[in-house]
């Protein structure tokens, strides 16, 4: 296998020298061990008390005692030294007890000094005990794994749930999910919190649960507040004992008002939100939307039609603001309601998934769209049921061609394909992900040096870390863009050689690498290195073609993305072949009537690809 040629951008510095912190290590206590010779020279002492530092000299005005006459007494004292039958500790025990107590006192102070640091690293950030030991040794604190565990017991730190606590939490989470309306739950035990998802993911506990279990005295739980732009006015309720728990269950399941709103007020709230949206008052519109959605959650059953339509409207609203995280959160909440009411495989739930897929497609989030469709396809063996007029369930087919009802807003023009991390954000994420193989703490060096040092480490195994390597090279290209022309040419040449080397490595690389490499090409085009960028791009396309079928949805998404980049940063002449390839594959994969196919066809006719959705195209689900 060819090796990457030596390049000046590799950091060649050795490991940083670290010096231990004297204050961080446990000091040794100067002790004194009483030996038999000292006992012989201290005949004025009683058998019960021993001097700690008796001068080794013959006392004045004393008669020497022969060894023969002293031996029985020495033997007797030796027995005392190894026995506490007279009710007092021996000399050795006195020393050991004193020394141990001093060390424990000193160690206790040191443990407390580092308590917050350990808690943040071990409990809050979720690192393992070996990682904590290594982390603390770097700052001069040394202790064994057994000592750590003993100290954690004193502090009552518990990182993992016991079986009985897990059983209770799973039962309680399931019980609260079945309430009307369903409630999410956050549990608290021994200073640590667990969400419902974390509790349900524990595979070491049986799925058999018993509802209505009493709440343990040391466990509390609460309903987390839903995020709201104006602040959530609903108070978080924490349950700590069975009496409070029973009181919470006494609240009627059917509510007449929520935060002062009645069910008839929700339509008015939505109307106000739409008016504010048209006036481009995004903050005011979001506040009204969220008030309407909160009222739906508390005044209607799960996945009610009004709740569903309101959720879709709010997701589209966030999509227009390019706030995909909030849009996903709204859709995920709605998904939980569908599953709570209908179950995973019910037709209503699947139709909701199809609406989500169409929204993702409209937002140009092709990878997410394909993922949803694949999961639906992979789960197609599970029967989809619908209740007929006679009340009996029967299997049904799902109409994938979804009609429309959500005509409140236009879907957004998504110019970007997701969140782009800044170089610093990328560096922090990579350093955290590769913390186990990084042998140098480089927090005090520059951003560029930290990237290069990380890169040097990952290049020892390029086949395994090729995705992160190309991401680092992309970040370095951004950083080097500010250099003078001569330095920039050298830096860019080295980055280009590294990227080309990765593309030519034997073995499967996958579409994740291809997409990361496309980011690298985009930065090269941004810096007007078009010829070099096209060489790398052709290598990427060859990798994708060799590893995927022509009609693979992932390849279609990749070619559309490349076409959009070339359209924006190069010319239509370079972009057109990519759109043509995606168009031909889309016909085979999705058919002529697919939104993807129609959009590609339109872009080839107009010689420009646009993510803008037609004003008349709106999405909704049909519930039978």
Other beta carbons within 10 angstroms of residue 229's beta carbon come to: 16
pLDDT digits (tens, 9 = 90+) for 435-482: 555 454 444 456 677 777 777 878 888 888 888 888 888 887 777 666
Residue 234 pLDDT level (bands cut at 50, 70, 90)? very low
pLDDT digits (tens, 9 = 90+) for 157-180: 777 777 777 777 787 777 777 766
Q: What is the mean pLDDT of residues 102-110?
A: 53
Q: Per-residue pLDDT for 351 more than 60?
A: yes
More confident residue, 406 or 302: 302
Residue 498 pLDDT level (bands cut at 50, 70, 90)? confident
The CATH superfamily of 263-395 is Tetratricopeptide repeat domain (1.25.40.10)
User: What is the per-residue pLDDT for 614?
Assistant: 38
Q: Per-residue pLDDT for 304 more than 50?
A: yes
User: What is the per-residue pLDDT for 442?
Assistant: 44
User: What is the per-residue pLDDT for 58?
Assistant: 45
Helix (H) or strand (E) holding 89: none
Residue 202 pLDDT level (bands cut at 50, 70, 90)? low
> How far is the C-alpha of 284 from the C-alpha of 438, rounded, in Å?
48
More confident residue, 315 or 189: 315
Q: How does 365-395 read in b/e, with b if 16+ C-beta sit within 10 Å? A: bbbbbbebbeeeeeeeeeebbeeeeeeeeee
Which of 483, 567, 481, 466 minimizes the C-alpha distance to 523?
481
Mean pLDDT of the chain: 66
Class of domain 423-606: mainly alpha
Q: What is the mean pLDDT of residues 303-325?
A: 86
Which of 370, 375, 366 minimizes the C-alpha distance to 345?
375
More confident residue, 511 or 199: 511
Q: What is the mean pLDDT of residues 381-405?
A: 34
- Please report, for residues 2, 336, 356, 541, 597, the alpha-carbon distance to residue 581 in angstroms, rounded to integers and kept in the order given: 32, 38, 27, 11, 11
Question: How many CA atoms does the CB half-sphere of 147 hold within 13 Å?
Answer: 12
pLDDT digits (tens, 9 = 90+) for 542-561: 888 888 888 788 888 888 88
**Which tokens is 286 given?**
């979001």
User: What is the per-residue pLDDT for 95?
Assistant: 45
In this structure, are residues 220 and 188 in contact, taking their beta carbons and an 8 Å threshold?
A: yes
Residue 294 pLDDT level (bands cut at 50, 70, 90)? confident
Q: Per-residue pLDDT for 535 more than 80?
A: yes
- Please report, for residues 117, 301, 392, 467, 522, the alpha-carbon distance to residue 362 in angstroms, rounded to integers and kept in the order given: 46, 29, 36, 28, 23
DSSP of 429-458, one letter per residue? HHHHHTTTT--S--TTS-HHHHHHHHHHHH
CATH 1.25.40.10 boundaries in the chain = 263-395
Q: Per-residue pLDDT for 397 more than 60?
A: no
């Amino acid at each position: 296998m060819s090796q990457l040629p030596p390049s000046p951008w590799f950091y060649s510095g050795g490991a940083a020298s670290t010096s231990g912190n004297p204050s961080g290590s446990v000091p040794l206590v100067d002790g004194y061990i009483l030996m038999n010779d000292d006992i012989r020279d201290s005949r004025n002492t009683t058998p019960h008390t021993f001097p700690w530092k008796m001068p080794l000299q013959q006392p004045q005005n004393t008669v020497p005692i022969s060894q023969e006459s002293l031996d029985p007494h020495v033997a007797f004292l030796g027995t005392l030294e190894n026995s506490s039958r007279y009710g007092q500790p021996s000399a050795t025990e006195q020393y050991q007890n004193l020394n141990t107590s001093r060390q424990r006192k000193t160690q206790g102070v040191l443990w407390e000094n580092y308590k917050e640091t350990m808690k943040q690293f071990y409990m809050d950030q979720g690192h393992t005990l070996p990682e904590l030991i290594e982390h603390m040794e770097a700052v001069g604190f040394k202790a064994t794994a057994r000592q750590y565990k003993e100290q954690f017991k004193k502090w009552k730190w518990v990182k993992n749930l016991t079986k009985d606590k897990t059983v209770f939490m799973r039962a309680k989470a399931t019980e609260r999910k079945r309430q009307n309306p369903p409630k999410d739950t956050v549990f608290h035990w021994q200073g640590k919190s667990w969400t419902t998802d974390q509790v349900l993911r524990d595979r070491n506990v049986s799925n058999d649960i018993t509802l209505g279990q009493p709440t343990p005295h040391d466990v509390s739980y609460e309903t987390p507040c839903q995020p709201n732009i104006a602040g959530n006015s609903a108070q978080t309720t924490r349950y700590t004992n069975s009496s409070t728990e029973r009181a919470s269950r006494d609240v009627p399941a059917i509510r007449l008002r929520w935060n002062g709103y009645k069910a008839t007020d929700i339509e008015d709230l939505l109307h106000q939100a739409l008016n504010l949206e048209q006036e481009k008052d995004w903050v005011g519109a979001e506040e009204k939307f969220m008030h309407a959605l909160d009222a739906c959650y508390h005044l209607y059953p799960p996945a009610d039609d009004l709740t569903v339509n309101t959720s879709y409207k709010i997701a589209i609203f966030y999509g227009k603001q390019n706030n995909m995280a909030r849009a996903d959160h709204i859709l995920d909440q709605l998904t939980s309601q569908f599953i709570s009411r209908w179950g995973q495989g019910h037709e209503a739930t699947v139709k909701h998934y199809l609406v989500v897929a169409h929204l993702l497609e409209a937002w140009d989030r092709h990878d997410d769209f394909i993922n949803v469709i694949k999961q639906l396809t992979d789960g197609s063996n599970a029967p989809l049921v619908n209740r007929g007029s006679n009340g009996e369930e029967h299997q049904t087919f799902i109409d994938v061609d979804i009609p429309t009802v959500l005509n409140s807003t236009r879907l957004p023009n998504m110019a970007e394909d997701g969140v782009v991390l800044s170089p610093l954000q990328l560096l922090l994420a990579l350093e955290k992900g590769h913390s186990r193989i990084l042998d140098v703490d480089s927090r005090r060096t520059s951003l560029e040096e930290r990237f290069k040092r990380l890169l040097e480490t990952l290049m020892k195994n390029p086949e395994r870390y090729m995705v992160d390597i190309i991401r680092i090279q992309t970040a370095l290209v951004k950083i080097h863009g500010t250099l003078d022309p001569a330095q920039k040419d050298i830096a860019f040449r080295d980055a280009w050689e590294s990227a080309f080397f990765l593309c030519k490595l034997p073995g499967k690389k996958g579409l994740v690498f291809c997409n990361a490499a496309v980011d690298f090409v985009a930065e090269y085009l941004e810096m007007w290195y078009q010829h070099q960028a096209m060489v790398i791009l052709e290598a990427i396309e060859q990798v994708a073609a060799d590893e995927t079928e022509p009609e693979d949805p992932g390849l279609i998404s990749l070619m559309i993305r490349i076409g959009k980049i070339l359209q924006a940063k190069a010319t239509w002449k370079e972009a057109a072949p990519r759109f043509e390839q995606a168009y031909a594959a889309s016909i085979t994969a999705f058919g002529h009537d697919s939104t993807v196919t129609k959009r590609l066809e339109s872009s080839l006719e107009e010689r420009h690809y646009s993510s803008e959705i037609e004003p008349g195209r709106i999405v909704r689900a049909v519930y039978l």
